[in-house]
Chains A and B, each alone.
Chain A
């Protein structure tokens, strides 16, 4: 009985592992193939030496960082204020924050183009305009992450304690609130990074050559380098995910005031 259970347990585990790894291994194998039975790293070199790879990657990374900064600058004070002063508005803000999920990116981009028609050239004509869309796109993830972080600490008491000790709003936010929701802020930031690094629709419709657009172009034109590029972008996503896990493990423990009042 016991033996049977462990057999089926291993079976399902193995099946799960295969489900995730076989496509990756197949992609890896394909990306290294240079003809029947011959393997080479040349497609990786092709990608890494392609100036368009570097340009599009840098563009996307820059946009991601701008999005992170802007999103956090908008959402950290908002989420904090909602928790502190407008707790009754929380369901409303919760709902607003998931709206971008409901609106497909293609609708969003068409809407954005309509809104920005007539906007000055320096804004609408550069890839920076994408950041406006990305902020909306990533808002649900970042807000949710911040919301969880803020729920874990007694925001009101900490704020009042800091104020009574003489801290102004800037000091309260930077010295007390932010350090206590650091893990939430970082995971929100890393989620934003992975989303922006993978967003295709908006950039493609607005005719900007970002990393995902480049990936799509390679995928349509060069078979083996496309496989290599897929693995490269997977690695980036994983690194970000591992970063989230690691940071949560590192910082998560300290957030909770265990022991409480005895």
Chain B
């Protein structure tokens, strides 16, 4: 029995099925992320765990205890919202103190705990300020401290960084992760940003249309997506639709061109498959330097360390390749090129 068990949750809003038989188990101290596009049901699931929504079917269990029907104020779960969740009539300090006041802690202990938390979030100087006097990043830090003050059994974060600008987002997510590790607090995090999910999670569940597509550590999800949705949603992915030609050698026919894909071994010839290739494993050469997928560069965008090339393949379709920027200088728009990839670097899924 895991620390937090979500079993067979189904939730509908009118005709819309928000969650369909979702089952998850989260271990004590784990940083678990629900990742998916908007409308995939991730926030609904978080709200069910928090107690703000009641599922149509299924149950939520914490430390082996059924809590599906327990009202939110008796669940002891701290929650951080997207934005504007601090009480505007209270100072930062009073906000953090709120949960302790509700619990009837004596003033001296409250003060001690609040001081501890401001220390933790590094905002001791801003204790007496009102929310409107704080920047967005500071507001979210105070919101985090407020949620942590009650020593919650589970920390719930609902896209807490989505309203912040890029630089603060990266900085704050690292702080959140560091604090989480230090306190060893079980955390359920919701985001639509796959990079964020990869960067901070122990495990990630990818959701689409109310269903779980895949659960696993970030590296596993990135390297070995189990469904076409995960492959296309997590990171950038090339997808070529082909037919298995030779299951022993691992050959796939893509519109008349033979591709060597180790992952195709053991599949029956004639099976229709998607071949998945990450842009960073694609190699691009000038025409005449060996065999591969022939095409023409039609777009080139500089992304710092790498340059992203889009290649229109002669057979139809396109391929994205991320080339070290130093090497990309020799490759210009409109150039005819050959694209290849290592046979062990491509993934495969039956259609």
Contacts and interface: CB of A to CB of B under 8 A. Distances in A.
Interface string A167-201: 11001000110011010000000000000000000
Interface string A38-55: 000000000000000000
A262 B150 CA distance: 26
Given A164-B147, A167-B102, A180 B89 contact: yes
Contact of B132 (A157, A166, A259): A259
B84 A257 contact: yes
B325 to A, nearest CB: 32
A255 to B, nearest CB: 6
Nearest to B99: A165
Interface in B261-315: none
A182 B271 CA distance: 68
A161 interface: yes
A164 B79 contact: yes
A165 to B, nearest CB: 4
B146 A165 contact: yes
A162 interface: yes
Interface in B117-168: 130-137, 139-140, 143, 146-147, 149-150, 156, 163-165, 168
Interface in A239-260: 254-260
Nearest to B140: A261
A260 B146 CA distance: 18
A163 interface: yes
A138 B257 CA distance: 80
B86 interface: yes
B120 to A, nearest CB: 17
Interface stretch (B7-15, B70-78, B221-229, B340-348): B70-78
A171 B78 contact: no
A164 B73 contact: yes
Nearest to B96: A165
Contacts of B98: 162, 165, 167, 175
Nearest to B90: A179
Contacts of B139: 259, 261
Contacts of A161: 79, 81, 85-87, 143, 146
A261 B136 contact: yes
A164 B78 CA distance: 6
B132 A256 contact: yes
Given A165-B78, A254-B130, A259 B136 contact: yes
A105 B75 CA distance: 50
Contact of A160 (B52, B102, B131, B134): B52
A153 interface: yes
A179 to B, nearest CB: 4
Interface string A17-57: 00000000000000000000000000000000000000000
Contacts, number: 108
B157 to A, nearest CB: 12
Contacts of B130: 254
Contacts of B156: 164
B84 A157 contact: yes
A182 B73 CA distance: 24
A241 to B, nearest CB: 25
A166 to B, nearest CB: 4
B50 interface: yes
A100 to B, nearest CB: 31
A256 B88 CA distance: 7
B103 interface: yes
A6 B52 CA distance: 60
B100 to A, nearest CB: 9
A165 B150 contact: yes
B99 A260 contact: no
A76 to B, nearest CB: 16
25 contacts: A153-B88, A154-B85, A160-B79, A160-B85, A161-B81, A161-B146, A163-B52, A164-B72, A164-B79, A165-B98, A165-B149, A166-B76, A175-B101, A256-B132, A259-B131, A259-B132, A259-B133, A259-B134, A259-B135, A259-B139, A261-B82, A261-B84, A261-B139, A261-B164, A262-B165
Given A154-B85, A259-B135, 4 more contacts: A166-B76, A180-B87, A180-B89, A257-B84
Interface of A: 153-154, 157-158, 160-168, 171, 175-176, 179-180, 182, 254-262
**Which are the 9 A-B pairs with shortest beta-carbon distances?**
A261-B163, A165-B99, A262-B136, A261-B136, A261-B83, A164-B79, A179-B89, A258-B132, A163-B72
